[in-house]
């Protein structure tokens, strides 16, 4: 398969700074030692939602709560390496007062692998297609955690008339720090101007397409991920933890995060954001930021603080809330805060829609 080399490069390029430790090149290469014991067989539980065909592969969408007149549907977008079960403490509470949907990006959780490469542009197209084919109607309030925050920003830029409000939950940045070839750099600065491929509407990647060397390395990476599947997730229900252990041990989970064009996409997003003082206009925006120290390095902690503050300035109607009892996973550490913040955000979008009718 011609994409085999790109798959390997993509894995290496995903080295990133994580809270409390730096994932070094040495550590990553250690993860890539061939081993056995990756997940086999079916998931331990049946998917709680619907499996929707979006072009030759099926994606899991879990919607609960009633559609309410004049109130947007809430869409929950998980962080990198995460999927719908991450919202197990938030979604049931939100469903009491709103229609709310979580889902598994292609290759994650119960979902089947989608086409390669896994660009953010592709992810946004797939989410839009998923909601459309499932019959979930706009307007939406998008809630993105960590990497999911970048995804929902791109979604709003791509399908602006679909989005009535946004919440960024300790969201990722457009200029993330990464270890590349042993150097600490901001990923967007490595962009070379390569064109980002157009989205693919068919032709999902199959595990059988993977070259043996790539498959062996992905097996090793999956094995390592399983050992850390539930770090910082003690509060999740037992079934959610078990599903995470299964999902992170699959080859498809590793393949789902191979994006050789990430730097190019981030550079394009930064350039677009600079064209407007308030990229989101006056869209209601809530930024939830972790209040606990996440990094051993003081400069990184301060850098994170400044980034979170800047997120609130994406909209004239942006506000920041610091979750004092939370680390990076606010939706797990303080689910009640996230739930009530979503309720308040829905109220703000409803009030705005009365003065500015939604298309």
pLDDT digits (tens, 9 = 90+) for 79-133: 999 999 999 999 999 999 999 999 999 999 999 999 999 999 999 999 999 999 9
- Map out the domains of the chain as residue ranges: 4-355
- Higher pLDDT residue, 155 or 355? 155
Q: What is the pLDDT of residues 276-294, one digit of tens each?
A: 999 999 999 999 999 999 8
Residue 357 binned pLDDT confidence (cut-offs 50, 70, 90): low
DSSP annotation of 42 reads S
CA pair distance 332, 79, nearest whole angstrom: 12
Task: Identify the pLDDT of residue 41.
Answer: 81
Residue 220 reports pLDDT greater than 70:
yes
pLDDT score of 271? 97
Please report which confidence band the pLDDT of residue 351 belongs to, taking 50, 70 and 90 as the band edges.
Answer: confident
How far is the C-alpha of 355 from the C-alpha of 218, rounded, in Å?
Answer: 52
The domain at 4-355 falls in which architecture? 3-Layer(aba) Sandwich (3.40)
167 neighbors 143 (Cβ within 8 angstroms): yes
Distances (CA, A) of 91 to 64, 77, 87, 308: 8, 12, 6, 24
- Secondary structure letter of residue 2 according to DSSP: T
Mean of the per-residue pLDDT values of the chain: 89
d(CA 221, CA 39): 12
pTM, two decimals, is 0.89
């Amino acid at each position: 398969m011609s994409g085999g080399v790109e798959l390997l490069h993509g894995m290496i390029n995903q080295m990133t700074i994580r809270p409390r430790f730096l994932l070094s090149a040495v550590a990553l290469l250690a993860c890539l030692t061939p081993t056995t014991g990756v997940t086999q067989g079916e998931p331990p539980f049946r998917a709680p939602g619907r499996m929707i065909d979006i072009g030759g592969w099926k994606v899991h969408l879990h919607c609960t709560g009633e559609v309410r007149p004049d109130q947007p549907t809430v869409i929950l977008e998980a962080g990198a390496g995460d999927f719908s079960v991450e919202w197990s403490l938030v979604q049931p509470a939100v469903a009491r007062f709103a229609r709310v949907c979580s889902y598994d990006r292609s290759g994650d959780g119960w979902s089947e692998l989608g086409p390669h490469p896994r660009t953010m542009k592709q992810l946004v197209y797939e989410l839009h297609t998923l909601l459309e084919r499932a019959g979930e109607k706009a307007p939406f309030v998008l809630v993105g955690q960590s990497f999911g925050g970048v995804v929902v920003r791109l979604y709003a830029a791509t399908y602006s008339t679909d989005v009535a409000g946004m919440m960024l939950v300790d969201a990722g940045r457009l200029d993330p720090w990464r270890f590349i070839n042993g150097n600490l750099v901001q990923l967007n600065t490595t962009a070379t101007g390569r064109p980002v491929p157009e989205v693919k509407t068919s032709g999902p990647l199959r595990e059988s397409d993977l070259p043996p060397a790539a498959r062996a390395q992905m097996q090793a990476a999956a094995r390592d991920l399983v050992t850390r599947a539930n770090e910082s997730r003690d509060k999740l229900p037992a079934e959610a933890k078990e599903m995470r252990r299964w999902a992170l041990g699959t080859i498809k989970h590793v393949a789902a995060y191979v994006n050789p064009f990430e730097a190019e996409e981030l550079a394009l997003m930064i350039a677009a954001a600079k064209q407007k003082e308030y990229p989101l206009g006056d869209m209601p925006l809530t930024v939830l930021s972790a209040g606990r120290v996440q990094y051993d390095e003081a400069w990184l902690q301060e850098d994170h603080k400044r980034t979170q503050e800047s997120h609130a300035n994406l909209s004239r109607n942006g506000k920041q809330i610091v979750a004092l009892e939370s680390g990076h996973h606010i939706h797990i550490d303080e689910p009640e805060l996230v739930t009530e913040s979503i309720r308040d955000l829905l109220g703000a979008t409803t009030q705005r829609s009365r003065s500015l009718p939604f298309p």
